[in-house]
Amino acid sequence: MASEHTVEAQLPGVFYRRPSPEADEYVKEGDKVSAGDTLGLIELMKSYHEVKADASGKVKKFLIENEGEVQPGEGIAVLLSE
């Protein structure tokens, strides 16, 4: 049975879905990810910190848009595991 899992931000800052402005997104909605895969970056204290999936599954949707502000505990993405 499919179950949903929300990946939460641990850091406050600005969320980015790409490693750099010209690069492709780390993952797209619908992609499959494994635990430990990078979903995006959070900018904090003048540096960029990776947001990693803490479960495996299909990315159902992102809850924060690219360059959106995020606070600790807020959902970043919903994963659908089977």
DSSP for 3-32, please give it. EEEEEEP-S-EEEESSSSTTSPPS--TT-E
CB neighbours of residue 62 within 10 Å: 21
Q: Does 6 bind another protein (CB under 8 A)?
A: no
The answer to the question of residue 63 lying near another protein (CB under 8 A) is no
Per CB under 8 A, the segment of 6-14, 20-28, 30-38, 54-62 that binds another protein is 6-14
Minimum gap (Å) between residue 44 Cβ and another protein? 5
Can you read off the two tokens belonging to residue 66?
Answer: 């690219």
Name which position in 13, 39, 57, 76 contacts another protein (CB under 8 A).
13
User: Is 19 a binder of another protein (CB under 8 A)?
Assistant: no
